[in-house]
Amino acid sequence: MCGIVGYVGARSVVDVVIDGLRRLEYRGYDSAGVALVFNPDGADSYLEVDKKAGKLANLEAVLAEQDRSLEAACGIGHTRWATHGVPSDRNAHPHLSADGRVAIIHNGIIENFGQLRAELEATGVEFLSDTDTEVAAHLLGREYAVDGDLTEAMTRVCTRLEGAFTLLAVAADDPDTVVGARRNSPLVVGLGEGEYFLASDVAAFIAYTTEAIELGQDQIVTISRADGITVRGFDGEPSEGKPFSVDWDIAAAEKGGYDTFMAKEIHEQPQAVADTLRGRIDEAGQIVLDEVRMSDQDFRDIDKVFIVACGTSYHAGLVTKYAIEHWTRIPCEVELASEFRYRDPVLDRSTLVVVISQSGETMDTLMALRHAKDQKARVLAISNTVGSTIPRESDAVLYTRAGIEVAVASTKAFLTQLAACYLVGLHLAQVRGIKYADEVSAILDELVAAPGKIAKVIEHLEPVREMARNSAGKDRVLFIGRHVGYPVALEGALKLKELAYLHAEGFAAGELKHGPISLIEEGTPVVAIVPSPRGRSLLHDKIISNIQEVKARGAKVIAICEEGDAITASHADFVIETPATPTLLAPLLTTVPLQEFAIELATAMGRDIDQPRNLAKSVTVE
Ligand code: M6R
């Protein structure tokens, strides 16, 4: 969380920084601020800081009132997701050192800030904010005063900080330098012609360059028009980052005619899932996962699977458990990353830990992966973000290729995670010879057909919108499902909670009678995810009973069911049909109406779809 940008180059610094912040606002939008260094001809250079609580637009309004006749020489900008201190002007970044000579911005949490603050206060430093970041500003100012070298000063400061941090700093009397540092938090460098960018994410500079450098753990980078880029470790030793090219362009980071990024991303799902599958199934029907860096023998050696993730990615993991256990007969557990390492799970060399993370930066998931590696388990990352920390630290990686997802509420990330997880499950089944080849091949055919079916679901969303609008006045919405429909119910409820700020809850349909059914009163909307009446018809019959139970207590039932399911149609108040597909693959289709339901209901309630309150897309704190 928190988006950070730094720039040196010939373009309008303030424009580049604000443009970058706009593209990073998904990372946090509690406040925003910039620090710009000006270098007027024949005069001393100086630093100006502007910051404002609320969304970036508030800061832009402040900047619009200023004299723009002089261009800054370099600058940094920050968009905040509050951790220490309420969202306010004073807690907004950048923060200044006591002498006002350096300005700093920060993403992460400085865990020993209390001790450092006490130490600084004991020497007479007066704090102007409640943030953990301000200790870094004062320490940096103090070190900078020693030799006037911002890189050296940052190096010394980093050795004093504990926790997770990306820091960017500028100094009033050094108009050609921005210094960055990273530990457990993302930072990438953008390389232009005589211009350099630092940012939490390539989205910030994709309008200007697709060439980038990924920084490693505990590295410090200095960008300067005169001297280019230098990278060193926290130990001061010269180092280097890893160059890469970004394979998407600015159009992907725009709304492309949709009202919201989320609407755009829902519509991108057929293509995104097709991209996940592309080139990973060969003509002989074998799944080819060469890129994951795990041999067939590695897959054969596995005797237990853990899937570890948060939020929507955790729901993808829950679906995957059903698939992996059914297809491979290997026991599979799914864990919330934030709980995983604290309960001392039983892991060893033959355990495969699959970590799922769209951003590749989620701190809870990163810490779980490190724990798994400490216990000698093999870690496979499923991620959407090339070069991010989680794939980098994993033994193996399968990228989902969803393209940039800007809306805070995950949509295409979820569907592509499912597709990637299905590939892993089917690959395990193939290399272990558990399933007959023709069975795997039949499922693969269905998987390949999924993008077309998702497109069909998207074409017929108008009835969902109408039902969502009808539910707008309600104070709660319940979601029920069985088998893979249960995680879909959880995901539908999560989408509605985060977008509409409504009490929405997902339940295993059979569990309702053990307590939650008391939530139902006259008119309560209950969304039921109904499995196909073909195949596991027992499941279908059971959920029909559950539908009857809630209807008997006044619920209005919206059923998501397979096309032609006359039994469900005769019991539910409203029906949304999805194309027929095998039960285990059904979440690829049944989730989509729930995404649209959430977006429409939240829109009817006047909510901010892409940036719901209190949230950030990339959660880089524990
Ligand atoms: O980047 P990750 O997949 O690790 O993020 C995990 C969750 O924070 C994320 O899925 C979150 O729950 C979504 N924004 C929900 O829509």
Decide whether any atom of ligand 1 lies within 6 Å of the 366 Cβ.
no
Bigger pLDDT: 72 or 538? 72
Question: Which is the catalytic residue, given 412, 497, 556, 617?
Answer: 617
Question: Which is the catalytic residue, given 2, 74, 158, 561?
Answer: 2
Residue minimizing CA distance to atom 9 of ligand 1: 311
Is 409 a member of any domain? yes
Average pLDDT, the chain: 94
pLDDT > 90 in the chain, percent: 83
Mean pLDDT, rounded, for 361-376: 95
Gap from CA of 606 to ligand 1 centroid (Å): 23
CA of 413, closest atom in ligand 1: 3
pLDDT score recorded for residue 254: 81
Domain C-terminal end among 401, 430, 456 = 456
Decide whether any atom of ligand 1 lies within 6 Å of the 620 Cβ.
no
Residue minimizing CA distance to atom 8 of ligand 1: 311
Residue minimizing CA distance to atom 2 of ligand 1: 357
Distance CA 501, CA 613 (A): 8
Is 620 a member of any domain? no
The CATH number of whichever domain residue 571 belongs to comes to 3.40.50.10490
Decide whether any atom of ligand 1 lies within 6 Å of the 410 Cβ.
yes
Q: Measuring CA to CA, which residue among 128, 16, 27 is closest to residue 80?
A: 27
The CATH number of whichever domain residue 118 belongs to comes to 3.60.20.10
Decide whether any atom of ligand 1 lies within 6 Å of the 595 Cβ.
no
**Residues 33, 51: contact at Cβ < 8 Å?**
yes
Shared domain for 71 and 206, answered yes or no, is: yes
Gap from CA of 164 to ligand 1 centroid (Å): 19
Shared domain for 281 and 198, answered yes or no, is: no
Gap from CA of 359 to ligand 1 centroid (Å): 8
Decide whether any atom of ligand 1 lies within 6 Å of the 365 Cβ.
yes
Q: Measuring CA to CA, which residue among 566, 577, 564, 610 is closest to residue 464?
A: 577
- Residue matched to tokens 């505990």: 218
Q: Would residue 421 show up in a list of annotated catalytic residues for this protein?
A: no
CA of 310, closest atom in ligand 1: 6
- Residue matched to tokens 């060469």: 290
Residue minimizing CA distance to atom 14 of ligand 1: 409
Mean pLDDT, rounded, for 411-423: 98
Gap from CA of 605 to ligand 1 centroid (Å): 23
Question: Across 375-461, where does the E strand assignment appear?
Answer: 378-383, 396-399
pTM: 0.83
Is 133 a member of any domain? yes
Shared domain for 26 and 111, answered yes or no, is: yes
pLDDT score recorded for residue 232: 97
| Segment 568-605, tens digit of pLDDT | 999 999 999 999 999 999 999 999 999 999 999 999 99
Decide whether any atom of ligand 1 lies within 6 Å of the 619 Cβ.
yes
CA of 410, closest atom in ligand 1: 16
- CB count within 10 Å of CB 436 equals 10
pLDDT score recorded for residue 468: 94
Shared domain for 329 and 228, answered yes or no, is: no
Domain C-terminal end among 456, 474, 493 = 456
Domain C-terminal end among 225, 253, 281 = 253
Residue minimizing CA distance to atom 16 of ligand 1: 409
Distance CA 300, CA 429 (A): 9
Structural domain boundaries, residue 95: 3-253
Worst-scoring range by mean pLDDT, 208-212, 523-527, 609-613, 614-618?
A: 614-618
Provide the number of structural domains found in the chain.
3
| Segment 25-72, tens digit of pLDDT | 888 889 999 999 999 887 899 999 999 999 999 999 999 998 877 899
Shared domain for 521 and 375, answered yes or no, is: no
Is 613 a member of any domain? no
| Chain mean position to CA 162 | 24
Sign of the CA dihedral running 523, 553, 315, 277: negative
pLDDT score recorded for residue 270: 95
Gap from CA of 432 to ligand 1 centroid (Å): 32
- 124: Cβ contacts below 8 Å, ≥ 6 apart: none
| pLDDT bracket for residue 283 (50, 70, 90) | confident
Is 109 a member of any domain? yes
pLDDT score recorded for residue 293: 80
pLDDT score recorded for residue 82: 87
pLDDT score recorded for residue 536: 65
- 63: Cβ contacts below 8 Å, ≥ 6 apart: 14, 18, 34, 50
Shared domain for 291 and 249, answered yes or no, is: no
pLDDT score recorded for residue 43: 83
Q: Would residue 542 show up in a list of annotated catalytic residues for this protein?
A: no
Q: Starting at the earlier edge strand, list the strands of the sheet with 242-245.
A: 46-53, 31-38, 74-80, 3-8, 196-199, 188-191, 211-214, 242-245
Gap from CA of 84 to ligand 1 centroid (Å): 21
Shared domain for 228 and 364, answered yes or no, is: no
Residue minimizing CA distance to atom 12 of ligand 1: 311
Query: What's the token pair of residue 230?
Result: 């230098």
**Residues 494, 312: contact at Cβ < 8 Å?**
yes
- Residue matched to tokens 């095998």: 582
Decide whether any atom of ligand 1 lies within 6 Å of the 313 Cβ.
yes
- 195: Cβ contacts below 8 Å, ≥ 6 apart: 7, 8, 9, 10, 11, 208, 225
Residue minimizing CA distance to atom 11 of ligand 1: 311
Is 377 a member of any domain? yes
Shared domain for 340 and 477, answered yes or no, is: no
Shared domain for 384 and 276, answered yes or no, is: yes
Shared domain for 148 and 94, answered yes or no, is: yes
Is the pLDDT at 300 greater than 80? The verdict is yes
| pLDDT bracket for residue 246 (50, 70, 90) | confident
| pLDDT bracket for residue 441 (50, 70, 90) | confident
Shared domain for 316 and 233, answered yes or no, is: no
**Residues 163, 181: contact at Cβ < 8 Å?**
no
Is 170 a member of any domain? yes
Shared domain for 354 and 486, answered yes or no, is: no
Is 543 a member of any domain? yes
Worst-scoring range by mean pLDDT, 345-354, 434-443, 519-528?
A: 434-443
Query: What's the token pair of residue 375?
Result: 């216990």
Distance CA 346, CA 8 (A): 49
